[in-house]
Amino acid sequence: MRPDKLVLKTLRAAGRALDAEGVAGALEIAGGPGLGVERVAHTLAQLEKSGLVADVGGKYLALRERHLVVGRLSMNRRGFGFVSSPVGDIYVGKRDTGGAMHGDIVGVRVDPRGSHLGRSGEVVQILERAITEVVGRFERHGALGIVVPTDQRIRGDLFVDLKKSDVTVRPGEIVVARITRYADKRDAMQGMIVEVLGPEGAPGVDVEIVIREHGLATEFPPEVIEAAEQLRQDIDGELERGRRDLRERFTFTIDPADARDFDDAISIVREGKGYRLWVHIADVSHYVPWDSPVDVEARHRATSVYLVDRVLPMLPEHLSNVICSLNPGEDRLTFTVEMLLDKTGIVERYECYPSVIKSDRRFDYDQVQGWLDGGGYPDDVSRQALIDFRSVAQVIHERRVARGGLDFDTVEARVTLDERGEPIDVVLRSRTEATNMIEEAMIAANEVVARHMTAAKAPMVYRIHEDPDADALAQVAVVLKEFGYPVKDLHGASPATFQKIVAFAHGRPEERLINSLVLRALERARYVDYLGPHFGLASQAYTHFTSPIRRYPDLIVHRLLKAQLTHDLGKPPTSHMVTELEWLAEHSSTMEREAEAAESESQKVKLVALMAHHLGEEFDGIVTGVMGFGLFVQLENTAEGLVHVETMADDYYRLDAERFLLRGESNGTTYRLGQQVRVRILDASVSERRLDLELA
């Protein structure tokens, strides 16, 4: 048999992604004509060019048809989805998903005619399943059990044969079911219950649902914990091996008051008319080498997840909260970016090196902001350091904004809970001078590292942010026109144009809405293994270096930078990691999105639970969405609900889609995007994360 047909047959028989070594090994096990790894790799490359196989993170999958577009499917809760692919996002209607589920790697046949939503297509092959378990509400119908998924992105129920189940479960309880058969055109999804989480309204079950829906890891394997707890510091040994000793330099951290781990610290002094700024980052790479047990687990998680009631860390506690955390008064191994900046914020010189520091002060954002506003600093050294830090952060910020970097005044809502996990209040956190100071220092350090590695032509993981989607911009332009903003056309607009929009919105009633619309129109930032610009920061080279305790890409960057400085990029273990950068970057981007969605949803379930205690009460809000079926309204505490048109009984309302408004046919009353309204809470469903409102 010809090598190409042999390789293709092997891939189809495997039913999963294989690299060249995997294919060669499968051929050898099958006892057929063996092919060397190099020949298999060459054959796979040819098959990819022919459109018969797809490269998914360095491994290959066989395609049923030539030239299918391959990518990951992201489902919307309304049933449609988008496939993220090398040629851009492809819209998939609810009837064209072909049984694929959220997160699956799929092959799409693209419709050459497109649609009103841009490029569209039909899923014709599911290459890799992402979801193997479903969390949902159990219902019983005789000997048949039904699990109704809580995640609305999963279409259809899962059926369970109770005669074959060893688990005792009651109707209404939330369960986890393992999928044994995926749905197709003839049969529904089938599975078996493997865990009972508890009654739907029991404390903590709501967040457990979010965790399971996003497949987040909650426990570390015993061997990972054991490996982490065996790690010890060797400060003296590291200094003897050449680490720079910065323990005598005044150093401080600024973090949220409730922070448990500290991965960045600052030192600063005035130097001439400028400043010398040190950004010290916990040297996690010293303790977590490539392919160690701790690394493999961190790689899988890719990020820490900050849920409403708990943190799911990327690293075991002994690392994240003890030997890597830059706790005050304790010697710590760090990686330092030292920058000499002139009075306008330009980095004139820099140096990157492993170091040892001892944090002198642990500040929180509220403390620092209070001192900046009204004085009362704890001591003169801290006062001078914080004043100098504010000055240098301001000039860095001004330079970044001048080149077109976006600067949103975002508001973060955090639900506070009692000891039982019940929501009691919402705290709105806005950006302050104190938070901006740390943010600007981190951005500066990230840019220095990115530019350094670019100049060295070294392998690297960058953080890129592509230009906004033209269709999304067209919708935003219509809204801005309705609000009377001095913007004619956003197509091809530079970051500076968006900065003007944000500045114009500042202080206006619709500010939060405009910021949200602009953010939604922008592409998502992501990790890649090639150099590309960052639109939001107006930066030509950017990376993430400053949070290796909680982000895996930062840990990769530390290893690459350290190897570049010591001329060890071509040596193991770094050389082994370099070959994996493409899929590591893609995986990290995927896990970042899952983490952000889980964090948002965990806040949302508690927000809905909080509002369930206020049924019948009235609140002020702003219209954030206008649909034919009603108005989405966001309350001042950021809870969002739907005013369905059926509750708007004073008239028959029609949608003016071009102007984003509902207009009454008889009385001419209009409700438009950004309008302030008074609403009443009708109903709150925690399991569906749904808030029903009516106009008051």
**Domain of residue 162, CATH code:** 2.40.50.700
Q: Cis before residue 423, ω within 30 degrees of 0?
A: no
Report yes or no on 606 lying in a domain: no
Do 32 and 99 reside in the same domain of the chain?
Answer: no
> Among residues 545, 552, 591, which one has the least CA distance to residue 314?
552
Do 182 and 74 reside in the same domain of the chain?
Answer: no
Report yes or no on 208 lying in a domain: no
Helix (H) or strand (E) holding 494: none
Report yes or no on 104 lying in a domain: yes
Last residue of a domain, one of 35, 62, 89: 62
Do 412 and 354 reside in the same domain of the chain?
Answer: yes
Phi-psi region of 605 (alpha: psi -120 to 50; beta: other; left: phi over 0): alpha
Other beta carbons within 10 Å of 410:
12
- Tell me the two tokens of residue 625: 């969405």
Report yes or no on 311 lying in a domain: yes
The answer to whether the CB of 687 falls within 8 A of the CB of 213 is: no
- For 488, residues 6+ apart whose C-beta sits below 8 A from its C-beta are none
User: Can you tell me the distance from the alpha carbon of 470 to that of 465, in angstroms, rounded to the nearest whole number?
Assistant: 15
Do 552 and 622 reside in the same domain of the chain?
Answer: no
Do 646 and 545 reside in the same domain of the chain?
Answer: no
> Among residues 634, 641, 586, which one has the least CA distance to residue 612?
641
Do 271 and 305 reside in the same domain of the chain?
Answer: yes
Taking the mean position of all CA atoms in its chain, how far away is CA 13? 35
The answer to whether the CB of 629 falls within 8 A of the CB of 679 is: no
User: Can you tell me the distance from the alpha carbon of 562 to that of 278, in angstroms, rounded to the nearest whole number?
Assistant: 17
Other beta carbons within 10 Å of 17:
20
| Tens of pLDDT, residues 243-268 | 999 999 999 999 999 888 899 999 99
Do 457 and 484 reside in the same domain of the chain?
Answer: no
Do 50 and 98 reside in the same domain of the chain?
Answer: no
User: Can you tell me the distance from the alpha carbon of 432 to that of 695, in angstroms, rounded to the nearest whole number?
Assistant: 34
Other beta carbons within 10 Å of 541:
22
Contacts by 123-126, CB closer than 8 A, 24 or more apart: 123/73, 123/83, 123/92, 123/96, 123/97, 123/98, 123/99, 124/64, 124/65, 124/68, 124/98, 125/63, 125/64, 125/65, 125/68, 125/98, 126/98, 126/99, 126/100, 126/182
Report yes or no on 214 lying in a domain: no
Instruction: State which residues of the chain have pLDDT below 70.
Output: 1, 30-34, 114-118, 488
> Among residues 191, 210, 197, which one has the least CA distance to residue 152?
210
The answer to whether the CB of 128 falls within 8 A of the CB of 177 is: no
Per-residue HEC secondary structure of 8-26 comes to HHHHHHHCCCECHHHHHHH
Report yes or no on 570 lying in a domain: yes
**Residue 466 DSSP one-character state:** P
User: Can you tell me the distance from the alpha carbon of 174 to that of 197, in angstroms, rounded to the nearest whole number?
Assistant: 5
Do 573 and 669 reside in the same domain of the chain?
Answer: no
Helix (H) or strand (E) holding 293: helix 293-301
CATH code of the domain in which 114 resides: 2.40.50.140
Exposed, middle or buried, 507 (CB in 10 Å: 0-12/13-18/19+)?
A: exposed
Do 325 and 245 reside in the same domain of the chain?
Answer: yes
Report yes or no on 211 lying in a domain: no
The answer to whether the CB of 178 falls within 8 A of the CB of 133 is: yes
Exposed, middle or buried, 377 (CB in 10 Å: 0-12/13-18/19+)?
A: middle
Q: 3-state DSSP helix/strand/coil percent for the chain, to nearest 5?
A: 35, 30, 35
Do 243 and 349 reside in the same domain of the chain?
Answer: yes
Do 363 and 277 reside in the same domain of the chain?
Answer: yes
Give the domain extent around 13: 3-62
The answer to whether the CB of 621 falls within 8 A of the CB of 103 is: no
Q: How many domains in the chain?
A: 6
User: Can you tell me the distance from the alpha carbon of 12 to that of 16, in angstroms, rounded to the nearest whole number?
Assistant: 8
